[in-house]
Amino acid sequence: MARSKKIEEKDRYIESEPIYQPITETIETNYMPYVVSVMVSRAIPEIDGFKPSHRKLLYTMYKMGLMTGHRTKSANIVGETMKLNPHGDMSIYETMVRLTRGNEALLHPFVDSKGSFGKQYSRDMAFAASRYTEAKLDPFCAEIFGGIDKNAVDMMDNYDNTTKEPRLLPTSFPNVLVSANLGIAVGLASSICSFNLSEICDATIAILKNPRTGTDKIMDIVKAPDFPGGGYVIYEPDQIRKVYETGKGSIKLRAKYEYDPNENCIEILEIPYSTSIEAILKDISDMFKEGKLKEITDFRDEIDLKGFKLTIDLKKGADPDALMQKLYKFTPLEDSFACNFNVLIDGAPKQMGIKEILNEWIKFRIGCLTREFMFDLNKKKDKLHLLLGLSKILLDIDKAVKIVKETEKDEDVVPNLMAGFGVDKIQAEYIADIKLRHINREYIMNRLAEIEGLQADISEINSILEDEIKMKAYIIKQLNDIKKKYAKPRRTQVMQATEIKEFDKESLIEDYAVNVFFTNDGYFKKITQQSLRGNSEHKIKDGDFILNEEEARNKDEVIFFTNKAQLYFAHLSDFELSKASELGAYIPKKLKFDDDEKPILMKINPSYDEKQNVIFVFENGKAVRVPMSAYTTQGSRKKLKKAFSDASPVVAAIYEKSDEYILMINSDSKAILIRPSLIPIKTTRTSIGTTVFAMNLKKNQKIIEVLEKYEDRYPEALSRYRKIKIPATGILISDKDITTKQMKIDY
């Protein structure tokens, strides 16, 4: 019981004094290490062009001896790689799949593969299990491993300290810009497109020769990105320059197609790298179902052993080029690759343009070659040292034999040789280990002949290490050799943006005559004339009535002013065809009006010029005319706020026709009839007419109704309520005027 009591007291103490940690400290101590780990250990490539998963896999294959010989089962490679990358066999295998020749994700694959490895252009074409496929390193990998066994890069312990792995691979060309690479870290992403190997080598050589090489020169050499999937890059100079200079931007890609007149079909042979055939087929299928592709009869995936092909069968007389313009517009057959050249430099992410990346690679490559040359230099110096010692016994081989023969103890052989010939311990050890059969003048003379070659090599290496120009010349020679061995023609062709015809969206819209009906409660009907002839009796809600009835074309524009001082834009083609026997589309729902918002004016095909005006009449007796030119907008805008003043509730909006009279009625049943020309024009939309009232109102009076068509209800309006100037005082409506009623009594 006593112990239980102590525990309770301790719990109360903990509850009474909670431990608080500032959010900044939590982020710094808990979150930031995780962020850095994801960036450095997983997602972002380094200057060698590889992420850790790629590097671990390729180095494992290198150590397995897969640069030469036969392929081995992929499962063996995956199993060995787990010694460096313990993230599960499937993640390792998926990494390997993307590096293979069979997957077609890289311009220069690193893995020579056999079996089904899926395809980069298909998300559903699955790769076979690792127990069925085989692989080895492609000969191209000689360019990423050269010097790795000569201390060219740092080695580090693997995750359990049982073996070593390279921090980077000593790539002898700027692989970071040749192999496409995507990675998503925490709060940071990297998206590097691929470039043609030959062009990148030429750009690197240009910078090595002249560090001041500018973007213009690089753009001349590196025409545009080059993707393994082919197709076209739409060349937009400003966008290309932005990507080359900043490492960020978007590049438009297009599919490549051919028209077969014999079969009357389009064959799409190459698609943008950033999409998949499934995404394209889905969009084509959706458009076909919606009736937007009436030019085609069928479409299908015809991928086979010969490669990619998507076939579209056309109707007789269909224009293949016009159809492709439509498909480019509405499907991923034209797509964009978002570039974001984030690369880890010395463990920190850095966004760079092409020149900056190449400068970093040159710095990295010089570092690798310096270490490699130092390794070779030390080896050659050691060998020269041994041979110089050997040269000393050439003067008296018999003496050397005699020293060894007369030495009683094994441990005295080396000291005695050192004393007899004036050599150091290392040289003496080498002399002592020479086999008996090699103690002949021919063998020793042949070995000594190497001295001259070694001295020349050492002198050459020293000259390269001491002279930056010679080091750069050596790199240039390597890059030229790589070009000769591995360069390929561009897969992705360059298409000038000026060559592209802009797609006319209206070509999709059928143009035919319609009748449009708009009711007071906001219901809208678009009816063909044929349907209207069959049944002209309209279904409307109780108390509702048709406000507008107009003849129009299906391609016409329609606008709606609302009681919330907003203007909505649409096209008649946005509305489904209706019948007179239906209520029609409810405009507030169709156009997504705000709460309690109602349309007060509809206009088909409005003219946006200064000669056309909209009249707004407000409850407080004011009115204003706003020219339609005030409602011109940039682009395809759907909604315009503050279309007119909301200082007083709006009673009516009227599209002005010539100078026809309008009738205003107030809450005390008084009316005025005026011409619109009396109402001032305000070029600012939100003007309300601060100095001139249209109708004089007494306290608590307000305008409640404005009519364009008044003759049926008020036939006496023209003679009784007409005013020639404003503000005007209203005349009591005849039906409410007792004097008038008495005069009409028939005695």
Task: List the beta strands (DSSP E) in 33-86.
Answer: 72-73
Residues 6+ apart with CB under 8 A from 96: 57, 74, 77, 78, 111, 135
DSSP lists the bridge partners of residue 546 as: 519
Strands 493-496 and 232-235: parallel
Contact criterion met (CB below 8 Å) for 424 and 389: yes
DSSP lists the bridge partners of residue 304 as: 307
> Which residues in 649-664 are b (16+ Cβ under 10 Å) and which e?
ebbbbbbbeeeebbbb
Tokens 């011409």 correspond to 675
According to DSSP H, which parts of 154-235 are helical?
175-178, 197-209, 215-221
Separation of alpha carbons 359 and 206, rounded Å: 11
Separation of alpha carbons 281 and 124, rounded Å: 12
DSSP result, 597-654:
--EEEEEES---STT-EEEEEETTSBEEEEEGGGG--SSS--EES-SS--SS-EEEEE
185 backbone φψ class: left, alpha, beta (φ>0; ψ -120 to 50): beta
Q: How many residues does the chain have?
A: 747
Catalytic hit among 31, 132, 159, 512: 132
For residue 366 the two structure tokens come to 């010089």
The answer to whether 132 is a known catalytic residue is: yes
Cα torsion 350, 353, 354, 360 to 10°: value is -30
According to DSSP H, which parts of 422-563 are helical?
425-432, 441-448, 450-466, 468-486, 529-534
The set of catalytic residues is: 132
